[in-house]
Structure 1
Amino acid sequence: MSAPDPQFRSRNKSQYQLACRVSGEELGRIPGPSAEQRDLELIQAALGGDLAAFESLVARYERKAFWIAFHVLGRVEESRDVVQEAFVRVYRSLDRFDFSRNFYTWLYRIVTNLAIDQLRKIRTDRSVQIEGFGDEIVGDDIDRPEDNLEDQELRSDVRRVLADVPARFRTVLALRDLHGISCREIAPILGLTHATVRWRLHKARQLFRERWERASRQSKHPRELGDVVGGES
């Protein structure tokens, strides 16, 4: 992957503002108990042949699933393909769903694994260029029309730095700091122990910080990192 673009803007945003603007989502939107119960009801209905119930599940999670895939891949079309395949697999395996678990944890694990597999394929295909992580998203219909130029530039800055973080660390950082998923929930998503997730998160934040500060030093407008990435795990 290429080094971060040196033309970074000098801004000081909090972690919350940064995460919201980069991910396109609001933090803290992990489903609560009532939402989880609704998921189970929809799954039961879908298992009974109610296609509309499954379509409701897709509508509830497809945007979040896209952003999780995108923060691994950095590519719009590939991320959409991953999400489509993930929901196909969910539908085919719905009768094996463990009702003692959260639906979104199961879904996000499928999405993440598919995205990581796709990333490996991209990297082994020498005809595919991966340097432009996240660049194609500018102007795409998933960007919010109310975003101003500063918001777009901020997202571009963070994506370039995030792209320079190795995938195994970037994935944990994105799930925790951009999507607000706890380390205990990330562990089953990635098939890791809680301790390993916490270690990777610590390392990911360190790597992100180092790259962010290096990019800032190269910029015409040096800046302090502030609290771009969080300290809580």
Structure 2
Amino acid sequence: FWEKSLSYPQFFAPEKNRFGSSRLFIGFPLTENWAFGLLGSYQAYYQAQENGSYFRELYAPEPDENGNPVYIGNTRVELPAGLQNDLFGIGLFLKRKVRLGKKTSLAFNLYGIRESGKGQLEIFPDYSYFFWPCPNCLSVAPGPIIQEMEEKNWKAGLDISFAWSLSDWMDVGIRANFLEFRKQSLSTNSDMINTFVYDPFLGVADGYSGDRYDFGSAVSREGVRVSLTFRPF
């Protein structure tokens, strides 16, 4: 588990990036140094996203002779956003163990895993000004705009661990995802009904939908784990 504070110029914005996870490896020995098995995972995170944006209409300070607002142009407004989710996954792994000494060893785990979960995207408007003309603005309580998001991930990579043998049947160690390919797919609830008379955020959340691809070390995103290994047979 780790968390990191964030800094934004506006008051309402994501406060911290957070990540916590656990993985369960159930392996079956093939030889003394090789094993194959099932992998289960759970992770919970909150991660700031790239700022969303939309074009806000600008009006003259005075209405026209009929009392109607006078449109003078648009300005681009950026909105901080954060993604929160809880993901469950299942996959397979192949392990190769390399002994370093009587009580120490390295393990190289090739793995593939499929994760899924339903979370939410938080979009933070700047409440320091009014979206005018906006009949419902005074009924909007300051806070993030919430949009449900569904996330599906495919991951494949190399997990490396260093272990210290405490007994014949238990090891303790540290491990990390040294190299990983990830395909992250995000989608919104397209059936959501918009109830605002005027919604300046319409379409902002949809900009976060789609596929994203990562390749490289996952340590900066997921950190380093503490591991316990049990050998009942």
**Structure 1 length-normalised TM:** 0.22
Q: Which has the higher contact order (CA 8 A, sep 6+)?
A: 1
Larger radius of gyration: 2
**Structure 2 length-normalised TM:** 0.22
Which has more helix, going by share of residues?
A: 1
